[in-house]
Chain A
């Protein structure tokens, strides 16, 4: 296993590679499969800059996520996008790295309010398939200088280049949190309640629905008095949907990490649709074990092995990723038409030999 400890070594390894490279951070979220000699970024570790007054942190791609979160917490700050951990869903051990989080654009329930990983990412350094060391963005939160390769690299699963350093805009910590829970709503009503809450002025930072627990969850975060006020107002707004209660201890980590699917059998899919289409996904996948996040726009679905999920959802715009299991068809949503041609040519430009996580995204 290759474990470069600086960018120059990483560049040399890529230039010298004679075959495909399987690129890993901590290896905690093995979506799909790639072949080749393993190269991990874990050696590119450490926080190189943290300025609480400027809401900015810069770290090596191999830095453990827990280290970043601990350092931020020590100054009462946090990553805005609440990255999920893959251990429960994938049954993996090890440490999630910040570079892996970026490569997979991993975002949690707060995505609906604070944006995805890609929205907080303000700079990257990476080594492309030619071995060139490239930077884009920087360490300031407003930057439109040149093309935004930062976004392109986020969610590219290492197929365009291997991240060596990442920079984030961070946010102040949260003083208080509470969750409004509505019981026993059918999926359609649950999404309607979440839409109403998300369309209210009360700044909802999490909107999830677990049909098995029969609970719809709406999270409020902020200063103590403000949370109390908004909880009262939002409870009134949602009263028409049924029994509304406040819960200070709702387990949002279980939502974030999709813990209910831990150790499960069958295929686990992650499906991104318009929130109002969420219930249609549930209906189309009758019998699936479901969890709705992002107000209904993110549907986790565990189905019997080999179920043709994309086939069942052809009428619903969006896309599906196979997180675990044998599935049916490609792991990532196939890109078609003009976008497929663009994607192919971008890969050829950034990785002309096709050695970086080859074939992973199709």
Chain B
């Protein structure tokens, strides 16, 4: 992965920069020894690694502001980092950058059940937001697979989704306000406990801006009362296309399940071997979850059974209990881990119109043959957000490059059929150079102008999202 040439002027001043960072933070909040910065050399896109110049762990908004102002004044790039679970390299540093980790910002500031929001510091993990409001049976809806580890700051940066967003939306639909520090150290509040912020929708603009516009230190998040219950059904099909058609019919019938998950044969076989979930042997499985009271769940699962029956399923299992629900979800939840046990893989994240599902699955199969690399498909079928896992051998010379070339072809295919490069992981460095496939230069110029407004010096996470060639003039103008 091509990254900009390191700035020698910064590298040669490392001792001075570290000393100045120590001047605004406590001593244990600045990491600079090479054996310690190594921990921060990559995020969950482990194929790319580069230790940063230093890492800072500010403990509050004021410290974040001071660090950013300092880096701004001396011209040092800053890479914000939540928990480092980005699959797109969003937190990948450069050797001349300072990583700003929000890990120490993990407190709950306010819970308000009457107005149904919680205010937290942004380093708090996604799942622990729900934990904080569970005593009153509330929850925070967006649930990325990494929710045990991932930070709200990263969720906001990437506008993360999850399995249940068909009903509850993604991060941007559940974010009411932020406290954000801009690169020059200015602290600003946008939105809050009320539903609409005044003025332009800057909150919507910041969510999903991949840490390039500011560092969010606090977030006001919408919380919801948990449903009375939820139960899934598992349906097996003898072709992926039929499974896709069934998804479409469920939606057309006026149902809105909270989740519709898809797994193909390759994933099913691996999952069966490692998680022993007892899934049927077939070409494709759907897991469809519905919510409500016992009677409401029975009624909805009954409707799904009727719709599925028209597609001659090879298996239909309706969960009747908590244990059966866990069993049905077990395989899906262990899918990524199980695939990782048998192979190295890269996980793509393109979204397509649901109607294109059969055609795209077929084309992915053809590409798999062409490149000689296996592909497993496991994804959120209700919203068309695909996650093809391309299998490769990291120890085999050239295999990663081959895998990436195939990934690029699949993502271009997603765009071609009316979809997009990334549905919930973000562009990061991984898909930076594919942006041309989705956007015309004029579309990207409009986005770059937004970056110019928030970060005129182009120091905040500067080498991400856009093709480097497109941002070079702006990045080098900072001197």
Chain A interface residues (CB < 8 Å from chain B): 51-56, 75-76, 105, 111-112, 115-116, 118-119, 128, 132-136, 138-152, 154-156, 160, 171-173, 175, 192, 195, 198-201, 203, 223, 225-226, 229-230, 233, 272-277, 294, 297-298, 317-319, 321, 332-333, 335, 337-339, 342-343, 345-346, 349-350, 361
Inter-chain contacts of A76 with B (CB < 8 A): 254
B450 touches A298 (CB 8 A): no
- Residues of chain B within 8 A of A349, CB atoms compared: 449-450, 452-453
Asked if B427 contacts A335 (CB within 8 A), the reply is no
What is the distance, in angstroms, from B89's C-beta to the closest C-beta of chain A?
14
Q: Does B147 contact A (CB under 8 A)?
A: no
Determine the main DSSP class of A at the interface with B: mixed
- Give every chain A residue within 8 A of B296 (Cβ-Cβ): 223, 225-226, 229
Which residues on A sit within 8 Å (CB–CB) of B446?
128, 132, 134, 136, 149, 350
Would A335 and B208 count as touching, CB distance under 8 A? no
Interface assignment of B443: CB less than 8 Å from any CB of chain A: yes
Residues in A with CB closer than 8 Å to B403 are: none
Q: Is B125 an interface residue (CB 8 A)?
A: no
Distance A339 CA – B201 CA, assembled complex (angstroms): 11
* Chain B nearest Cβ from A349, distance in angstroms: 4
B352 touches A318 (CB 8 A): no
Contact B199 A343 (CB under 8 A): yes
Name B residues whose Cβ lies closer than 8 Å to a Cβ of A.
Answer: 112-116, 136-138, 158-159, 161, 165, 169-170, 172-173, 182, 186-188, 190, 192-205, 207-209, 225-228, 248-249, 251-256, 292-293, 295-296, 299-300, 351-355, 380, 383-385, 418-427, 431, 435, 438-440, 442-447, 449-454, 465
The number of inter-chain residue pairs (CB within 8 angstroms) is 255
Closest B residue, CB atoms, query A142 = B423
Please measure, in the bound complex, the distance between the C-alpha atom of A297 and the C-alpha atom of B176, giving whole angstroms.
13
Give the distance in Å from the alpha carbon of A14 to the alpha carbon of B284 in the complex. Answer: 52
Q: Decide: B201 and A141 in contact? CB cutoff 8 A.
A: no
B200 pairs with A346, CB closer than 8 A? yes
Question: By the criterion CB–CB under 8 Å, are B384 and A339 in contact?
Answer: no
Contact A275–B353 (Cβ < 8 Å): no
Q: Quick one: which of A75, A115, A155 contacts B200, CB cutoff 8 A?
A: A155
Q: How far is the CA of A321 from the CA of B172 in the complex (A)?
A: 24
Are B205 and A148 in touch, CB under 8 angstroms? yes
B161 touches which one: A142, A148, A152 (CB < 8 A)? Answer: A142
| 9 nearest A-B residue pairs (beta carbon) | A151-B204, A319-B198, A333-B198, A142-B423, A172-B254, A53-B248, A274-B193, A349-B449, A335-B199
Contact of A319 (CB < 8 Å), options: B197, B225, B256 = B197
Query: Do B195 and A297 touch (CB < 8 A)?
Result: yes
Are B251 and A142 within 8 A (Cβ)? no
C-alpha spacing A170/B253, complex, angstroms: 14
Do B115 and A346 touch across chains, with their CB atoms under 8 A apart? no
Interchain CB contact under 8 A, B465 and A146: yes
How far apart sit A274 and B110, CA to CA, in the bound complex (Å)? 14
- Can you spell out 10 A-B residue pairs with CB atoms less than 8 angstroms apart? A142-B424, A145-B438, A146-B444, A147-B450, A151-B172, A175-B254, A201-B227, A226-B296, A317-B192, A319-B196
> Looking across the interface, which residue of chain A has its beta carbon closest to that of B449?
A349
* B113 lies within 8 A of A140 (CB): no
B385: contacting residue among A52, A142, A146, A171, CB under 8 A = A142
Q: In whole Å, how far is A76's beta carbon from the nearest beta carbon of chain B?
A: 6
Q: What is the minimal beta-carbon distance from B240 to any residue of chain A, in angstroms? A: 16
* Chain B residues with CB under 8 A of A156: 200-201
Q: Are B205 and A151 in contact (CB under 8 A)?
A: yes
Option from B114, B353, B453, B465 in Cβ contact (under 8 Å) with A199: B114
Please tell me if the beta carbons of B427 and A146 are within 8 angstroms of each other in the complex. yes
Residue of B nearest to A270 (CB): B196
A144 is contacted by which of B254, B352, B425 (Cβ under 8 Å)?
B425
Contacts of B172 in A (CB 8 A): 119, 148, 151
A120 to B155, CA, bound (A): 19
Contact indicator B199/A361 (Cβ below 8 Å)? yes
CA–CA, A119 and B439, complex, Å: 22
B194 contacts across to A, CB distance below 8 A: 272-274, 277, 297, 317-319
Contact yes or no, B353 A144, CB < 8 A: no
CB distance from A356 to the nearest CB of B (A): 13
B384 and A171 form a contact (CB under 8 A)? no
Chain B residue contacts of A134, Cβ below 8 A:
442-443, 446
Pairwise interchain contact B205-A144, C-beta atoms closer than 8 A:
no
A residues in contact with B182, CB < 8 Å? 338
A318 to B189, CA, bound (A): 12
Which one, A136, A142, A276, A317, contacts B384 given CB within 8 A? Answer: A142
Which of chain A's residues has its CB closest to B296's CB? A226
Given contacts A52-B252, A133-B442, 9 further A-B contacts (CB under 8 A): A55-B354, A111-B195, A132-B442, A138-B419, A148-B207, A151-B205, A152-B205, A154-B204, A200-B225
Question: Which residue of B is nearest A319, CB measured?
Answer: B198
Q: Are A145 and B435 in contact (CB under 8 A)?
A: yes
Q: If the complex has contacts A144-B159, A145-B421, A146-B447, are A335 and B198 also in contact, measured as CB distance less than 8 A? A: yes
